[in-house]
Amino acid sequence: MAVETISLPSIDLANFPAELGKLTVVATGLGCFRIINHGIPVEFLTQTKAAASSFSKLPDDIKLRNRDVIYGSGFSSSRDFMPPSESFGVYDATSSADVVAFCSSMEASPHQREVLSTYASKVHVLVVDIASKVAEGLGLVGCSFQDWPCNMRLNVYHLKEESIGRQAVHAHTDSGLVTLLLEGEIGGLEISDETGKLLAVDPQPGTFLCFIGDVGKAWSNGRLRNVQHRVVCTKAAPRVSIAFIMVSPRDGYVEPQAALVDEEHPRLYQSFDITEYRKLRITDDSLVGNALPLWQADE
């Protein structure tokens, strides 16, 4: 059965503070929205995707240098399954040293190094701005996200004719506060709305998608919605996406904001360590997108 296509709400960064109310509605409702007028040129985004794609052509011994720093932060491959895909990770893309170390391990060219370093720098500024606006919409003025580490995942899907109709990425929520996604060119992304209905999202070149993640829901005491999403193969063609995930406070300690806990909104979640949380999600597939209930606050 065909999945209905949704036109995601667009948040225009050139139209603030007028867009703040709209941003708050979609962040607490659907949990996913499109970012436009973000100031990063389309041509540069294309160059970044080309750099990401080039790493999938490297010999396996070089790819395997991209090791985990924490669970799921390094190279991963599903080449033994259909559709095959590969993913590369920069543990903390807010650190220029981490980006340079990744490029060195992949034997990146000077041009590739410059592109990835510039991309990480620009998107970090963008994700900090988005997170600050989301917090402001909840009434939390002056929250600083500058020091929050951000993972960057470079995803390359090798989609074949026999892959059409299969899931390239199973349904999941992201683990962090927010994710900025430079989406695949050929579509296949589907999100789940508030009723659980799957909706297809057509790509729009030059924009970013923003997803609220599990930390976002816990940190906001349930105000923000962690949206479930997946990728389905719809066409036999290469597909590249880049996820930039703002994870948690630098100390890894996640807890509901005190200003969002009151008689009308009792505390929903216990505090937790993000490393333990992500390890549990990754080592138990059944908990990807379903782990937060394990940290529900005692009644």
The residue written with tokens 């170390």 in the block is 101
Map out the domains of the chain as residue ranges: 5-291
Q: How far apart are alpha carbons 145 and 188 in whole angstroms?
A: 31
| Domain 5-291, CATH among 3.40.1390.10, 2.60.120.330, 3.30.460.10, 1.25.60.10 | 2.60.120.330
**pLDDT tens, position by position, 123-164:** 999 999 999 999 999 999 889 999 999 999 999 888 788 888
232 versus 74: the higher-pLDDT residue is 232
pLDDT in tens, 200-219: 999 999 999 999 999 999 99
Q: 37-45 long-range CB contacts below 8 Å, 24 or more apart?
A: 37/12, 37/13, 38/13, 38/126, 38/207, 38/208, 39/13, 39/126, 40/122, 40/123, 40/126, 42/205, 42/206, 44/115, 44/118, 44/119, 45/119, 45/182, 45/205, 45/206
pTM of the model: 0.92
Helices (runs of H) and strands (runs of E) counted in the chain:
7, 15
DSSP 73: S
| DSSP 8-state code for residue 162 | G
Percent of the chain with pLDDT over 70: 92
